[in-house]
Structure 1
Amino acid sequence: MFPILNTERLVLRELTVKDAQAILDCFSNPDVLRHYGQKPLTSLAQVKQIIDNFSQNYDEKRGIKWGIELKGQEGIIGTIGFQEWSTEHKRADISYALFPESWGKGYALEAVNRVISFGFQEMELVRIGAIVFTENDASNKLLIKAGFEKEGILKNYMHQNNVPNDTYIYSLIKIKSS
């Protein structure tokens, strides 16, 4: 059963084929992709395959991806999830993307905090990582605000539009309860 998460203003739910057009719109937008390290999506068929892959990754405990929805409104405003999930090593990397019209409203931090809580409590993660382009100021600030610690720089780690980019690597370590 796919977990549905709630926050004050958001519902994080499984992505479905009904979200395909919104995902295509988001991940073909140059503003969204500027710091994402991904080629633009080009077709609904491609998006539907990606949604199937998300479902398979969850079934195989390799990742989980939620659609972010505003409470009381149909349709997603972005995505958030974990990839590189290792149950053996109790770690995963978080990633998120919001549609530009939802930027600057605190939705990303609200979703990140809820997903972190789920990762530590339900997925039994001990480490949550994040990899972010060094010039992605908004995301770098968000991770620090969420409690992540910058561990270092990965040089020429991600390519965007065939240009190598440096990234910061962050971690958030679960605090052991005594």
Structure 2
Amino acid sequence: MFPVLETKRLVLRELVEDDAQAILNCFSNDVLLRYYGQKPLTSIEQVKQIIKNFKGQFKEKSGIKWGIELKETGAIIGSIGLQEWSFEHKRANISYALLPEKWGNGYATEAVEKAISYGFQELGLKRIGAIVFVENKASIKLLIKLGFTKEGTLKKYLYQNDIPNDTNVYSLLK
């Protein structure tokens, strides 16, 4: 069964087809995608397929992706996930994205803390990694605040708008 996680202000829950428009709003936003390493999504059908892929990853135990829902309104304001999840090696990488108008309210911290806790407590992970564009100061600040350590830099690792970008690798060990 898909885990639903709650924080003071958020519900991290499985994404369903009815969330397709909200996810399209997030992942077609150029500001949000600036440091994400992904091309903008362009259609509801594309998003529905991605949501289906998330379900498959969870079933295969290779990843888990939650929608970030505001308790107050029930609106999806972003997503967070653990991917490249390996039971054998007890590790996964975390990724997260929030609508820009929700930045600066502590929602990302709340969601990341909860996902990390779930990864360590429920999935038995010993390492959670994060790959972040070197220019993404807000995300770097968040990871450091939560105890992540920089391990190094990957040169020209992710492309955004066909431009190669360097990324930093961070980890949090249990």
2:9 touches 2:72 (CA, 8 Å); kept in 1? no
Does residue 155 of structure 1 match 2:155? yes
Which residue of structure 2 lines up, in the alignment, with residue 172 of structure 1? 172
Structure 1 stretches of at least 4 aligned residues deviating more than 4 Å after TM superposition: none
Counting aligned pairs with the same residue, the percent is 70
What's the offset of the Cα at 1:70?
1.1
Which residue of structure 1 lines up, in the alignment, with residue 139 of structure 2? 139
Inter-partner Cα distance in structure 2 for 1:17 and 1:74: 15
What's the offset of the Cα at 1:72?
3.4
TM-score (norm 1): 0.97
Any unmatched runs of 5+ in structure 1? none
Which residue of structure 2 lines up, in the alignment, with residue 83 of structure 1? 83
Matched position secondary structure for 1:3: coil
Matched position secondary structure for 1:150: strand
Inter-partner Cα distance in structure 1 for 2:79 and 2:52: 15
Aligned length: 174
Which residue of structure 2 lines up, in the alignment, with residue 57 of structure 1? 57
Q: After superposition, where does 1:80-119 map in structure 2 within 5 Å?
A: 80-119=80-119
Does residue 68 of structure 1 match 2:68? yes
Does residue 37 of structure 1 match 2:37? yes
Inter-partner Cα distance in structure 2 for 1:170 and 1:74: 32
1:5 touches 1:114 (CA, 8 Å); kept in 2? yes
Matched position secondary structure for 1:97: strand
TM-score (norm 2): 0.99
Q: CA RMSD in A?
A: 0.6
